[in-house]
Structure 1
Amino acid sequence: MIYISVGFWLILGVECFGGSNHIVTIKTGGSVTIPCHYDEKNPPQKKYWFSVTDNYSISINTTEENLSVIDHPDQSLFTVTMRNLQNKHNGEYYCSVETEGNLNFTYELYLSVQPAPDVSVMNSSVSGHEGDNISVQCFYSSGYQNKSKQWCRYKDKDCYTVGRTETSQNSSVQISDDGRSSFTVLMTGLRLSDSGWYYCCAGEALNPVQLTVTEAEPVNGATDNPKDSNKGLTVWLPVSAALLLLLILVGVFTWRLKRRPKQDKHQNRERNDSRTVDAIYSKPEEETVIYNTINDECPTDPKDVTYSIIDDTPKPPVGGTIYSTVAPH
């Protein structure tokens, strides 16, 4: 822990950031995260969170029970998170950095811990995709009904008041105040560059909100990169062809399966008919033939009648043929 004695330092700017009277209001027992930006072109060698009331500072990447100071060099800032806040934490604080032996204070605030905060937010962290919209609801006490309501970006100290403000061709900020206890911030057409820390402000009282904007999700697998599109086509064309071939094979198999019972039934009928014909027209391997001659002339004398007896023993085999010839005389 390093102790530093300093005088009072002021930040000039718009009302939300102007003077020494801007106040971060937090509910008793709650927590708050304060961003501390530094020059990305000339990053400091040392970064501290300094308490004027207790006259001490804590360096970055330090974590205690209810306090942590974490550096985020990719964003050119460090954050200070204070937890389980009580009345003893009321007081003045500074974001301080040391560059080439010179100590500078980049941000100052007065922390006020209250049972019912003068300014609070529904969510202290919000996120959305590029091109989407986000909404932030900010609450204020009755003493701030007639105060100016603002949505301010911490990094560049740009503030937007009640109404609609176009920030670029594709994005805008709209603030609507119900005049009683809350105002709503609507940001439309988000851009990646909109990511960062903001404040809900009512007069000099404020509360921090972190906004994170991520890349838009591709629609139906579409991509803005032509190379990625070509890669997608290279992959999907063979897959589509294979699927189409599979569907055709399944269709042919199903069609043949449906026709097979009819064909089998027709073939069985033909086989049965063939067997019937064979049974009718086929000749047995061995035939027993018995010939008999019958004289159809009428005899004049009974003595001239010749009787012929056909003996049926032995009988011809099944399927045998008996021929009889009638000879005229």
Structure 2
Amino acid sequence: MAPHLLLVMRILFFLTGLSDTQSVSTVSHVSVKQGGSITIPCLYDLRYSNNVKYWCRGYYWLGCSTVVRTDHPKTSGNTSISDDINQRVFTVTMRRLSSSDSDYYWCIVERKNEADDGVSLQISVTPGTPELYVDQQELTGVVGGSVTMLCYYSKLGGSGRWCRMGGSCVAVGHSVDLDGTFVKLVQEQRETTNGYVLMVTMSGLMMENTGWYRCEKGKLQMPVHVTVNQPSTTQSTITITPSVTNRDNVVTNENTDAKHQSLLEVLFIPLSLLVVLIAVTLVTWKMLRKHKDKKAKDQPPNTSVQPADPEQNITYSTVSHISGTTQQVKPNPFDPTPLQPN
């Protein structure tokens, strides 16, 4: 670069307050539907972790108006700001957007004793379908699993890409390794409209893949955050594909589960009563049987009178006459001779 041009740029940086050593990055241009929301990530260098960050509105930095700051205020109207020093990114969320919110904005890091550092972007709010949009800006997967993002756009102009913010990109029609994860991009035409969809699949996820990405189509970009968690014992590979069909299936499954639960609740009471009745019957039967056995045990044995032996009833006696007196002699039970008269 010519020396005089470099000098002019330094003067312009000084006049506008813009540092000539930018270490902040973000998307360049996003399109949002009226009434919708958007979250803008602003990445910064490690040395800015403890600095104050702020969100400023205006085409020129010199005259931009501060909306929110990470110290105060963190919320103003429908706009809020938060700072994640571990990921080195501060995010700004704008809700319930209207056409009046269409403008240029700045991600800025405040620095002491020197010019602040920042970068600008453009936000366009449209009453119709945005030129580039996604169903959701948050994706969640597990280590070793996969996630799928659908980026919708209305025109074929420009190349479709998927990029790691602050890193490299993958173009349509390519399947490559991006930061250790396999990424595949497929472009398809939508059946219901004349638009198109860019299907991005990331598989073989790692914890290091957690971070901000963006869909690109021409000059437009849409930021998307991917969170990778450790799998639980019951969790397997997760593929997230936002669609109306999936949401309908979820609702159907929830209704089916509710019906099954209601049926179980209806059957629970009579089944419980039946179990109690059977238990009471068994206990009563055992008690009656035990009582009957005890009564039979306490009763004395039944002894019947046996008929006497005729031979045992015979009595043998000896009678003798002494001096005119009749004397009865005690019978000898062992003498078989019958008594004779004198």
After superposition, the Cα gap between the structure-2 partners of 1:291 and 1:271, relative to the gap in structure 1 and judged at 3 Å, is same
SS in 2 for 1:102: coil
Deviation at 1:202, TM superposition (A): 0.8
Deviation at 1:205, TM superposition (A): 0.5
Q: CA deviation at 1:291?
A: 3.7
What amino acid does structure 1 have at the position aligned with 2:43? H
For 1:72 and 1:57, the matched residues in 2 are separated by 20
Question: Which amino acid letter does the alignment assign opposite residue 91 of structure 2?
Answer: T
Residue 139 of structure 1: aligned partner: 152
Match of 1:98 in 2: 110
2:246 corresponds in structure 1 to none
Q: CA deviation at 1:25?
A: 0.7
Q: Please give the secondary structure, in 1, of the residue aligned with 2:46.
A: coil
Q: Distance in 2 between matches of 1:206 and 1:51?
A: 19
1:73: which partner in 2? 85
Q: 1:75 to 1:120 in 2, by over 3 A?
A: same
**C-alpha distance in structure 2 between counterparts of 1:178 and 1:214, whole Å:** 30
Distance change >3 Å, CA 183–CA 326, structure 1 → 2:
farther
Counterparts of 2:337 and 2:185, CA distance in 1: 132
Within the candidate set 16, 27, 37, 1:31 is matched to 37
> CA distance change for structure 1 residues 102 and 6 in 2, over 3 Å: closer, same or farther?
closer
How many residue pairs get aligned? The number is 239
Task: Select 2:182's aligned residue among 172, 177, 188.
Answer: 172
Distance 1:178 1:152 in 2: 19
SS of the equivalent of 2:110 reads strand
- Distance in 2, Cα, partners of 1:281 & 1:9: 133
How far off its partner does 1:294 sit?
Answer: 8.0
CA distance in 1 between partners of 2:48 and 2:77 (Å): 32
CA–CA separation in structure 2 for the residues paired with 1:165 and 1:86: 39
Classify the secondary structure of the residue corresponding to 2:86: helix
Q: Hey, what does 2:224 align to over in structure 1? A: 209
TM (norm. structure 2) is 0.58
Give the structure 2 partner of residue 148 of structure 1: 159
How big is the alpha-carbon RMSD for the aligned residues of Structure 1 and Structure 2?
4.1
Q: Give the alignment of 1:184-203 within 5 angstroms.
A: 184-203=199-218
* Structure 1 residues 69 and 37, CA gap change in structure 2 (3 angstroms): same
Name 2:95's counterpart in structure 1. 83
User: How far does residue 80 in structure 1 lie from its aligned partner after superposition?
Assistant: 0.9
Gaps of 5+ in 1: 221-256, 283-288, 296-323
After TM superposition, the structure 1 = structure 2 runs for residues 287-298 of structure 1, keeping only pairs within 5 Å, are 291-293=313-315
Amino acid at match of 2:37: S
Q: Normalising by structure 1, what TM-score?
A: 0.60
1:126 and 1:41 map into 2 onto residues whose CA distance is 29
> What displacement does 1:147 show?
2.1
- The residue aligned with 1:321 is none
Aligned identity (percent) is 26
Q: CA deviation at 1:49?
A: 1.2
Give the Cα separation in 2 of the matches to 1:23 and 1:186.
Answer: 23
Q: Kindly provide the amino acid, as one letter, of the partner of residue 112 in structure 1.
A: S
Determine if contact 1:34/1:80 at 8 Å carries over to the other structure: yes
Q: 1:185 to 1:32 in 2, by over 3 A?
A: same
User: Deviation of residue 201 (structure 1)?
Assistant: 1.1
Report the equivalent of 2:263: none
Change (3 A) 1:87 1:56: same
Instruction: Supply the AA of the counterpart residue of 1:181.
Output: Y
- Cα contact 2:132–2:221 (8 A) shared by 1: yes
The answer to whether the 8 A contact 2:152-2:196 is kept is yes
Deviation at 1:146, TM superposition (A): 3.7
Equivalent pair of 2:18/2:117 in contact (CA under 8 Å): no
Closer, same or farther: CA 281–203 of 1 in aligned 2, 3 Å = farther
Tell me which of 55, 67, 73 is aligned to 2:64.
55
Q: For 2:32 and 2:43, how far apart are their aligned partners in 1?
A: 21
Structure 2: tracts of 5 or more residues without a match: 1-14, 190-194, 236-282, 318-332
